[in-house]
Amino acid sequence: MTQAKEKSPVAIGARLKKWPQVKTLGFKPNFSDYTGDDRARLIGAKKIYYPTAFYADLFNTMGKETFPSFHTYKFAQDKIKQTAIFEMQNIPHPRTRVFYGSKQKKSITSRFSFPFVAKIPRGSAKGRGVFLIRNEKELSAYLERKGPAYIQEYLPIKRDMRIVVIGKKVRLAFWRTASDKGFRTNVSQGGNISFKPLPQPVLDLALITARRCGWDDVGIDIAESCGKLFVLEGNMKYGTKGFKQAGINYKGLLIELIEKGEI
């Protein structure tokens, strides 16, 4: 197969399909279903945009650059893996432990005192699958779910910070305050946004976290408790309401960054 000369940037995922500046081919699990020209274009491109989790692995094996990065896809919606890399990279993170099997789960209350936070460790986003556990009854209800128990110390906070890193820079940062109806600060769960400037150490920690973890398209949540900063998690499927409230055209920003070569 001859390699096609790269023209406009090429993408697989649909994020920018309505923008003519990027040629979006769409996801086809059978590579042979792409036309000969499209296959040549993908093979010949220096970088593939939004390759999807399926093709990110394959392009990484070929040594081909993608945006988002291979590592960004690998950590998406996997709190267990994120906690492990935070610990390995000395990134400050709330005390967290994963309990596997019924025997381990019986030891939860010997390691954590009520209240604590329990989360669905894989596949959840936008504040869904996060529970404040205040007693044995609530713990039993959480443990009815199959799979490992992801338990985290409770930080008594009413607000945290979302820092969106795209490429190698912070593109948006804001405070999130929990509503009166719950403890979660996620905007999708009723949290409120404030664009009051964030402290520089918070922005620095977000960039350090993104760099050490290999993430280049992520919303990093950071909280301050007892005078210390904690990285809560990285959200690869972050919402874009914050961009809208800030008056930023999110997809227009992506096109601008592609054209500038910043992503």
- Per-residue model confidence as pLDDT tens digits over 207-259: 999 999 999 999 999 999 999 999 999 999 999 999 999 999 999 999 999 99
- Cα 76 to chain center, whole Å? 5
pLDDT band at residue 2 using 50, 70 and 90 as cut-offs: very low
- Per-residue model confidence as pLDDT tens digits over 26-51: 999 999 999 999 999 999 999 999 99
At residue 3, the pLDDT reads 45
Q: Which residues pair with 8 in a beta bridge?
A: none
At residue 4, the pLDDT reads 42
pLDDT band at residue 1 using 50, 70 and 90 as cut-offs: very low
At residue 109, the pLDDT reads 98
What whole-number distance in Å separates Cα of residue 75 and Cα of residue 210?
A: 11
What are the structure tokens assigned to 14, written together? 């649909």
- Per-residue model confidence as pLDDT tens digits over 58-90: 999 999 999 999 999 999 999 999 999 999 999
Say which residue, 127 or 88, is predicted with more confidence.
88
- Give exposure, 131-165, as e/b (b: 16+ Cβ within 10 Å): bebeeeeebeebbeeeebbbbbbbbebeebbbbbb
Q: Domains of the chain, with CATH numbers?
A: 10-67 (no CATH), 95-153 (3.30.1490.20), 159-260 (3.30.470.20)
| For range 91-101, the mean pLDDT | 98
